[in-house]
Amino acid sequence: MKRRNFLKKASVTGLGLVAVSSTLFSFKEKSEKKSMISPSKPIKPLVIATWDTPLAVETAAKVLEKGGSALDAVEQGCRIEEANENGQTVGKGGLPDRDGNVTLDACIMDEKGNYGAVLAVKNIKHVTSVARKVMEETPHVMLVGQGAEDFAVAKGFERENLLTEASKKAWEKWKETSKYKPIINIENHDTIGMLAIDNNGNISGACTTSGLAYKMAGRVGDSPIIGGGLFVDNEIGGAAATGLGEEVLKTVGSFLIVELMRQGKSPQEACEEAISRIVKKPNSDFRNFQVGYIAVNKQGEFGAYSIHEWFSYNLYKEGVNKNIKSDFFNKG
Ligand code: ASP
């Protein structure tokens, strides 16, 4: 599954790609009418994840439907994409950096506001689970590089080569024309960010990625950084990001969205405002990169917004898991 050609592909991979208008607008309408402090009936359980990720969302939903926690759900959901060798943006099979090394970033947040992350990890596929171990079994919140890898092995994770033949070939082809200079464009990134609400109404989130393809060695984006690629506040809601991490970090995107929801904005309005902070910067180069956000609030209202067309997300609610095309800013 190649999700990275999001600006070019019209139909992504299908699976019930639904026009955004009716779903989101009806939710928007509702959220505008509703006060954030007097919710009627919260929608739960619920899972939302970036991109066309039906199996990951289904896996998370199954955990929730069996009464499992939102934290277990997002971990199990993200593991699906980490193990999917055909996805070249997350986990095993991710595209490497310029030197041919696959390095992974991930983070996780629970309903108590705990956070764990691993950055630039080689040779370990299930980095979301390693991030959870950092959160639950160390006095720290972040482990980087070799330290993270050694920690994972000490915790029983298997070392394996993450560079698949397909990704190696793609990297070798890239090297022919790349002239070894940064490529920060609209086709070299994708991440799975996932948010879940369990039957107790608790919210957790996780985010996992191989980062920008052909990045400089040592480059880390927004995905494992609290408030950048992910933020959860169990009293308010959660948000997750995908796209050019540098731009998300400069606006602390996920934290911004949660704080905007705290001030009374709906998830949809908050996502739109976060995108607007990026595109309205003086001299913003937004035509040349993509950023997409998803968000959910405590009531189970959700939103998504991106700079360009063809960002989509999978949503599980009320027993239905579907891929939905996000609304977007750049309508030409
Ligand atoms: N946000 C990720 C990063 O910058 C990549 C992506 O979502 O495409 O590393």
> How far is 217 from 16, CA to CA, in rounded Å?
38
Neighbours of 122 (CB within 10 A): 18
Distance in Å, CA 192 to ligand 1 centroid: 9
Give the C-alpha distances (Å, rounded to integers) separating 249 from 42, 128, 212: 31, 20, 14
Q: Is 191 a catalytic residue?
A: yes
pLDDT tens string 246-274: 999 999 999 999 999 999 999 999 999 99
Atom of ligand 1 nearest to the CA of 248: 1
Least confident interval from 21-35, 58-72, 157-171, 308-322: 21-35
Residue written as token pair 């940064």: 182
In DSSP notation, 208-254 reads: EE--STTPPTT---STTSBTTTEEEETTTEEEEEEE-HHHHHHTTHH
pLDDT tens string 144-187: 999 999 999 999 999 999 999 999 999 999 999 876 555 544 45
Distance in Å, CA 15 to ligand 1 centroid: 24
pLDDT over 80 (residue 214): yes
Which domains are assigned to the chain?
A: 46-328 (3.60.20.30)
Q: Residues near ligand 1 with C-beta < 6 Å?
A: 189-191, 209, 211-212, 221-223, 229, 242-245
Confidence (pLDDT) at 110: 98
pLDDT over 50 (residue 225): yes
pLDDT tens string 88-112: 899 999 999 999 999 999 999 999 9
